[in-house]
Structures are given as C-alpha cells and as structure tokens.
Amino acid sequence: MNIKVVGIAASILLASTSAFAQSSTVTGAAGGAATGAIVGGPVGAAVGGIVGGVAGSVIDPPPQKVVTYVQQAPAPAERVVVKEKVVVGQPLPETVVVTPIPDDPKYAYAIVNDQRVIVEPSSRKVIQVIQ
C-alpha cells in the first residue's frame, strides 16, 4: 500500500513539472527522481524528485563583471539597515533602494546592513551576497 502511495506521489510530482517556472527546477526534480529511483526504488524516486527540485531552484550566480562592479561601487552616504536578515532567494524590503547595473540590466545591487547584495530588479530577489 505504501509503495503504491509513494508511486502515485512520484507520478504527480513528475507530471507537474510544467508548473515549475524555471527549467533548472524541472531538471533538478527529474534528475533527483531518476537518481533516487536508482538508489532507492520508488521511495527514492519520490524523495529524490523533491530534493532535486529544491536544489534545481538555486539561482545561477551573476557574471564576474557584475560582481566586480558591485564590489567597487561607492557606498551610499547614509547607511541602510533593515531588521530582516538578507537571504539569497528572498526579496529585499520595499524600503531598500536598489541600483541598476549600467552594463547589465538583468541585475541591480544594494548595500544593506553593511552587506553588498546583487538582486534581480523586477522581483528584488537577492541573487548573491558578496562577502
């Protein structure tokens, strides 16, 4: 009975890949399911698909020229501090001003809590925190 339930769950997971917005998530879910099936059979396929989907949704890092630009950008005269922790994959608060990267409009940056962060401008999602 449990194997049947897990098999159905794995089928639903794999059938719903069209609902994923990014191809890397789909690739991660399918790859994880295939690897899990090899290692652990139907149960491994279900677990591998979920873990692979999460791993596949990791954001690709920006090009080095964008990182270099953000590292060398002058800090604002006034320090920007927010209570929320800056986390990759999460959007910055609306109160934080993001500055577009002139040579690559796919990226913007902000300096928050003394950390330089690269963000996706339309969603304000943090792509990378520069250490």
The pLDDT value given to residue 61: 87
Instruction: Give the tens place of pLDDT for each residue, 20-73.
Output: 344 444 445 555 555 555 656 666 555 555 655 554 455 688 999 999 999 999
Q: Among candidates 34, 51, 111, which has minimal Cα distance to 77?
A: 111
CA distances in angstroms from 37 to 14, 33, 48, listed in the order given: 13, 6, 8
- Global pTM? 0.56
Instruction: Give the tens place of pLDDT for each residue, 72-84.
Output: 999 888 889 999 8
- Report whether pLDDT(15) > 90: no
Q: Where are the beta strands (DSSP E) in 15-124?
A: 99-100, 108-112, 115-120
Nearest-10 crossing angle of helices 2-15, 23-56: 140
Q: Among candidates 95, 25, 90, 11, which has minimal Cα distance to 53?
A: 25
